A and B are shown apart, each in its own frame.
Chain A
Amino acid sequence: MLQKPRNRGRPNTQAERERDWARGAAEEAPSTSRGAGGSQEARGTSSQGGRRAEASPEVGPRSQQQLELKVAELVQFLLIKDQKKIPIKRTDIVKHVIGDYKDIFPDLLKLAAERLEYVFGYKLVELEPKSNTYILINTLEPVEEDAEVRGDQGTPTTGLLMIVLGLIFMKGNTIKETEVWDFLRRLGVYPTKKHLVFGDPKKLITEEFVRQRYLEYRRIPHTDPVDYEFQWGPRTNLETSKMKVLKFVAKVHNQDPKDWPAQYCEALADEEARARPETGGPTPSS
């Protein structure tokens, strides 16, 4: 279950530091006690309750320490929330972390994004313009040497995801669900059978990947029996590209991407579109 980052045990030094901050700032705006509640020994539900029962905000000059604390909390919140890879809603951020600092939310977010990039190499991007949901993506391109440890956490779903993404792209950017299962059956992945690695593959593909916004899952109208189709989701376009997926497929085939001219042209066009500056990389908007 996802728990609020402030209740987590931090390395001692940081906890002590924050306790000091909280103590030092205790005389100031009561909003700081939000942080104080989190860094005290009594964590868990008690401090969550304390947070909710917070006193009304005092909008006054906030010290640098308070801001620092807020940014740190925001960074932790984003990191923890990203564990499930479900896009983080702006409303959640405001509700759980920002609170009274709503007026400087854009600045806090910007600072947090900078910190994430500088310390962790993660970029905070908005999923779609004006969607007010954010995801973290890696700024570091994967390197050969990291292959062993990459994607090590949790179930290795990226492989399955890549295969499905490849299928979708190579078949013209949209594919029927029945076709997906016909393909996966050959790999021993069935919609109704429990899988050794993936557990419930149907749930994984049609629900989890969709929730994580890697895939779009739409019902095809007027079909009987009901059939659905898959397309790429917004997250896929941020984390990978048509060219990369084509190269993955090509590598598996041990061939050159150019062996599929139509797809290659499409991927090339996509690359050019990305390279254009104004439509370029999405940035966190406030």
Chain B
Amino acid sequence: MQLAECQLSAPVAGMSDEKGSLRGGVEKGEEPAGTIAGSVFSVKRVEDEEEPMKVEVAVGADGCPDDLSCQEADIDPYLLGLADDEEKCRKIRRQYRQLIYSVQQNRDDIVNMASDTLTEALEEANVLFDGVSRTREAALDAQFLVLASDLGKEKAKQLNCDMSFFNQVAFCDFLFIFVGLNWMEDDERDELSGCDDNIALSFWETVQKEATSWIVQAETFHFIFGSFKSKPSAPKPRLEHQKKAHKMEENGAMPTKLRKLDLSNNQEATEKEVERILGLLQTYFRKYPDTPVSYFEFVIDPNSFSRTVENIFYVSFIIRDGFARIRLDQDRLPILEPININQVGEGNDPSSHGRRQGVISLSLQDWKNIVATFEISEAMITNSY
């Protein structure tokens, strides 16, 4: 069908742009070449729909454009005469444009609804085409056909989906039900966004578990103990210390001695205390020579139970180191006696040399009783602070 061919080759610059190149090309009386663009489907569609288009066009095969291979076709001279009727052509063009515009505007309606709007539009175009005698109008007709077939394809696609109906919204709802969340209908359509984090987490976990059973993913490989050879984490604090030490060295002011002292800070405190208390004890012994001091009177602090315990602790060091000794006097009460350095070597009293262990336990009540019994009013070991 020659007519069909020239219809197909008429340029359509774009559905929304029916003027411009379209008219310009036709004015020159040529057959402007161009691509039938407009939508991504249109090119394909034109080829696909070639058959139906031909069928459609066959209806209006009466009109024949005057500037195309008309030599081979039978031209009715009567039609050639009609070609001079500019006014009619203008009217036809206007009608076509109106049709195209209305179809474009109602695009959504046409595609989505099971409506006959498209068929009606096609029939209208058919009628219009009866009066077409020039390329210009024919081009508009072609443009309309492209638009119509575009919509036709979308409609067909819709039909296809309806056959094996997949409803996305239902899929969503089913997902929630599957996971175990029962949302009330019409209630907070924006569910997972507005709700609890925990619910969202558990939703995705559940979906994950189901999903992984339908896919053979290789589990990602990780070393159990991490990817470095396990080293004791001790280096870290040492490193910090060393960093600090390095800093100090860089300053140049700090002597090495001080660094050593810093490290053994904890032990220092105890020793200092012990020495201090020893000093106190020795002062006492010097003041009152040959008078042992009552143990309790020495260690007990009537104002503080915890200080008392600390004192007992420090005195035990003194005894351990041999600067004093503890023994029971005639009343079987413990007393502290000084040991002189020269006494050590004398070996006078074997019992006093023997290493003995004693455990002193003191409860809060005991401490209170002792304070009351011995009438201790103030501590012998004064605080250093």
Contacts and interface: CB of A to CB of B under 8 A. Distances in A.
A182 B172 CA distance: 11
A83 B227 CA distance: 13
Contact of A186 (B172, B206, B223): B172
Taking residues whose C-beta sits less than 8 angstroms from the other chain, chain A's interface range is: 35 or more
B214 interface: yes
A122 B221 CA distance: 11
Contact of A153 (B37, B206, B220): B220
A248 B211 contact: yes
B365 interface: no
Interface stretch (A56-64, A90-98, A160-168): A160-168
A147 B211 CA distance: 10
B215 A190 contact: no
B211 to A, nearest CB: 4
Nearest to A83: B220
B286 to A, nearest CB: 63
A274 interface: no
B166 A187 contact: no
Contacts of B38: 222
Interface string A238-267: 011000110111011110000011111000
Contacts, number: 178
B228 interface: yes
A131 interface: no
Given A163-B207, A222-B40, A261 B228 contact: no
Given A150-B209, A171-B166, A172-B160, A137 B174 contact: no
B175 interface: yes
A159 interface: yes
Contacts of B209: 147-148, 150-151, 159
B191 A188 contact: yes
A79 B221 contact: yes
B160 A262 contact: yes
A136 B171 contact: no
Contacts of B165: 260
A188 B193 contact: yes
Interface in B147-189: 157, 160-161, 163-166, 168-172, 174-175, 177-178, 189
A161 B204 CA distance: 11
A186 B215 contact: no
A190 B37 CA distance: 33
For B161, B197, B212, which residue has the most chain A Cβ atoms within 10 angstroms? Answer: B212
A140 interface: yes
Contact of B40 (A139, A156, A166, A221): A221
Q: Which 4 A-B pairs have the closest CB atoms?
A: A188-B192, A9-B229, A159-B207, A162-B211
11 contacts: A8-B223, A8-B228, A9-B223, A82-B220, A120-B218, A151-B217, A156-B205, A182-B168, A222-B40, A223-B40, A261-B163
Given A151-B211, A187-B172, A188-B190, 9 more contacts: A9-B223, A135-B218, A138-B218, A142-B215, A144-B213, A159-B206, A159-B211, A190-B193, A244-B215
